[in-house]
Chains A and B, each alone.
Chain A
Amino acid sequence: MGGGLAGIRAAIAAAETDPKLRVAMVSKVYPMRSHTVSAEGGCAAVLREPDSFDGHAFDTIKGSDYLADQDVVEVFVREAPLEVIQMEHWGCPWSREPDGRISVRPFGGMTTWRTCFAADKSGFHMLHTVFQTSLQFANIERLDEFFVTSLITEDGRCEGVIGFDMRSGEVRSLAARAVILATGGNGRIYAFTTNGAICTGDGMALAYRAGVPLKDMEFVQFHPTGMPSTGILITEAVRGEGGYLTNAEGERFLERYVPNKMELGPRDIISRAMVTEFEAGRGLKGEYGDYMNLDVRHLGSEVINRKLPFMRELMGEYMGIDIVTDPMPVRPVEHYMMGGIDTDASGRTPMPGLYAAGECANAGINGANRLGSNSLPECLVFGAAAGRAAVHDARGVKAPGSNPIAGLVKDETRRIEADFLGRSSGTERVGEIREDLQKMMDAQVGVFRTGDGLKTAVKELAELRDRFARLKLDDHSRTFNTELVTALELENMLDGAETIIESALARQESRGSHARRDFPDRNDEKYLAHTLAYHTRGAKPRLEYRPVRITQWQPQARSY
């Protein structure tokens, strides 16, 4: 389920592992529209000396503020280079050195140059490469624009999915011996985000409601450099290539926060530094609030055109700014969900038959703060692992019977009819509830959090849920009903938001991206542990904690 980088990589792995298997690749948008397409900066992997696996592992673990599971990180850094080379063999147009080897660039929180890139459209090229490669597999059947609404479970096993074909509106089931969720992030829960419209966390919500825990949901990454009006991402590669961040006084203010790393410090710290500067009155003032300048003028047009052409295009198009002659206005923006469906290093969730990979999953490598350029390789490594594990495990499983499933399809059809399409008594507009949810999350669950703010969020979320129960759709058509899709996505966003808020409220410390003003320090004694949020009927989620697995890197103070 999912046609992004993780989903397609999983489908290819499954199809290759057993060419006789039927693999369905289900996606609510045509695969090349998946949000992987917007990734700009690049994909980290240890390709050559003097870089080392330990180096990549340590940077990732320190970046995670020691909340990563170190055994999983070790697997990840070893597999990542093989996946990057696999992408190369499949035709990915990686940027190259003069001698023909794949180029690498510096990236935030990485202590050496290890981020491979395809100019500043890395995700676009990677997605199109895997998608086009997948077309040669006769045993991969695509269901494009098919919206999944629930998982089929029987005796604690996942046996398929139910959803509807958007074009016909027909609800149908897909029985399966294994289901892999690769449904991406949920950044659209926030108003100011780099995420596309489809990033609503559907897979997370489906797994959660089926009883699978969501892990570390309080950790939401805010990227320091979003375009103030739209939230379009200005890639970290801009700083990797030597760009400066300056405040209203023209000062490179990071000097005061991450003196040794400056612009190449990790995202959580730089985002907090920017907000702190804004609060001290040192931000530039704009129509969309305070901002900072990101300046690449000193790099010159040749470097800009070769390495950052898309940034020049985007800034020109949307802000009327030529980055060769003017600095770019930027402010912190919601960007990435560290939390996700609880999995192990093979993508297995606690529910037999159910796997997850990519941004919707949490295998344990990102901890409290993901390092930039670690998630594209994460999609590849764990997408492939989940595909193989699913095939391996499915061998001994018999195909699900059709009897109970037919009943479930009827129930789901009835639910969609009764709660959405056929309802005429409601008063609330789906788009307006969604906007209010997004504004609330920006205001209360942002870069800095407080206990009071989070309690307000709990209260406001309950009100939003009440309003959701009074929903009324304008669109009653069965044909390509995007309002129905938006409503079902909103249901998933409300569940996602609840796990974020409750997990954040319970974690009374500051770690990585989770910064509590009322608990400014890290507390390893109590919270060197993953939060697991379990769905409960009609009440708030039940939270449990699971200790972090440490192999060779003992937690230290995290300074840069």
Chain B
Amino acid sequence: MAAPSQELLRSNPLPADTIQLSVTRYDPAQDAAPRQQTYEIPYRDDMVVLDALNWIKTHMDGSVSYRWSCRMGICGSCGMNVNGTPRLGCSVFLRDYLPGPVLVEPLPNFPVIRDLVIDMTSFMEKLSSVKPWVISNGQEPALAAGEHRQTPAQVEQYRQFSMCINCMLCYAACPVIAIEPHFVGPAAIALARRYDLDSRDHAGQDRLRTVTGSDAIWDCSFIGECSAVCPKGVDPAKAIQQTKFESTLGMLLPWGGVSK
């Protein structure tokens, strides 16, 4: 992502003293429906949306609920909708939304547990469903025999699909999930591809079938919303496209097989 240079930041005429955030609040025990609550907080140029939420929680209102941990865009906890777009709260700067207010909502396409905290149970099940582990052919070398040889080019085959941080932004952006919640979805398909393309894996068509077993994948029309919002360049749309291609090939060629 292109970030403004230090000079640009310094020459920015603004610095407003404060900025407003409008945050979705919802506690099922008290609220019939979600509502927005506005907070005005001190503004700094280098503040990300997560910093703003943390400021609110520390100094103004300890009851605002959201998930976070690493604050460096790698743990995948802090997905939220910022001004209508799924983003990582720790990687999106307030300065890009001046003068505010900034609208902060839970990720769409998921049930909400509380405030910005969504229910990710179904996502976890979808991940497991694609058998995201190395399926061996029973001829695994013993540990003492050392590593499999895998050339840098072979790593390159699956590397992109191994970069997913499970942030679920692509599910929030996916038009198919919005209509068909059971769709296994972009990240899980990318994960299936990650193992199918790994030279150490011997799943054959096994994993592919679990992914293409439901019809939903054929409803995906390559709008590519998932890849557009992905903060890690995983390109799940490409994985979906490859999966459909492999699956069609599998139907044409009786011996199937996954091209690596």
Indicate whether A and B interact.
yes
Contacts of B150 in A (CB 8 A): 96, 100
Q: Does B152 contact A (CB under 8 A)?
A: yes
Is the pair A435, B58 in contact by a Cβ cutoff of 8 Å? yes
Contact of B58 among A98, A321, A431, A481 (CB under 8 A): A431
Contact of A37 among B70, B128, B152 (CB under 8 A): B70
Is the pair B75, A38 in contact by a Cβ cutoff of 8 Å? yes
Q: Does B249 contact A (CB under 8 A)?
A: no
Is the pair A431, B71 in contact by a Cβ cutoff of 8 Å? no
Q: Does A430 contact B (CB under 8 A)?
A: yes
Chain A residue with Cβ nearest B54 = A431
Contact digits for A57-69, partner B, Cβ 8 Å, 1 yes 0 no: 0000000000000
Which size class do A's interface residues fall under? 35 or more
Contacts of A86 in B (CB 8 A): 143
Is the pair B63, A82 in contact by a Cβ cutoff of 8 Å? no
Smallest beta-carbon distance B240→chain A, Å: 20
Instruction: Please report the C-alpha to C-alpha distance between residue A198 and residue B71 in the assembled complex, in whole angstroms.
Output: 11
Q: Does A473 contact B (CB under 8 A)?
A: yes
Q: Does B185 contact A (CB under 8 A)?
A: no
Is the pair B62, A35 in contact by a Cβ cutoff of 8 Å? no
Q: Does A230 contact B (CB under 8 A)?
A: yes
Is the pair A321, B124 in contact by a Cβ cutoff of 8 Å? no
Q: A29-B69, A432-B58 given as contacts; is B76 within 8 A of A477 (CB)?
A: no
Contacts of B24 in A (CB 8 A): none
Is the pair B58, A230 in contact by a Cβ cutoff of 8 Å? no
Q: Does A517 contact B (CB under 8 A)?
A: no
Contacts of B66 in A (CB 8 A): 482
Q: A89-B134, A91-B201, A121-B74 given as contacts; is B62 within 8 A of A317 (CB)?
A: no
Is the pair A196, B75 in contact by a Cβ cutoff of 8 Å? yes
Q: Does B17 contact A (CB under 8 A)?
A: no
Is the pair A135, B143 in contact by a Cβ cutoff of 8 Å? no
Smallest beta-carbon distance B238→chain A, Å: 18
Is the pair A32, B59 in contact by a Cβ cutoff of 8 Å? no
Q: Does B98 contact A (CB under 8 A)?
A: no
What are 19 A-B pairs at a CB distance below 8 A?
A32-B75, A33-B69, A37-B165, A89-B148, A91-B201, A98-B151, A98-B152, A99-B151, A136-B133, A196-B71, A313-B1, A431-B58, A431-B59, A473-B62, A475-B63, A479-B28, A479-B114, A480-B115, A483-B63
Task: Report which A residues bind B (CB closer than 8 A).
Answer: 29-30, 32-35, 37-38, 82, 85-86, 88-91, 93-102, 121, 124-125, 128, 132-133, 135-136, 144, 167, 196-198, 229-230, 232, 313-314, 316-321, 429-432, 434-435, 473-475, 477-483, 486
- Which 5 residue pairs across A and B have the least CB separation, nearest first? A100-B149, A431-B58, A475-B63, A474-B62, A196-B69
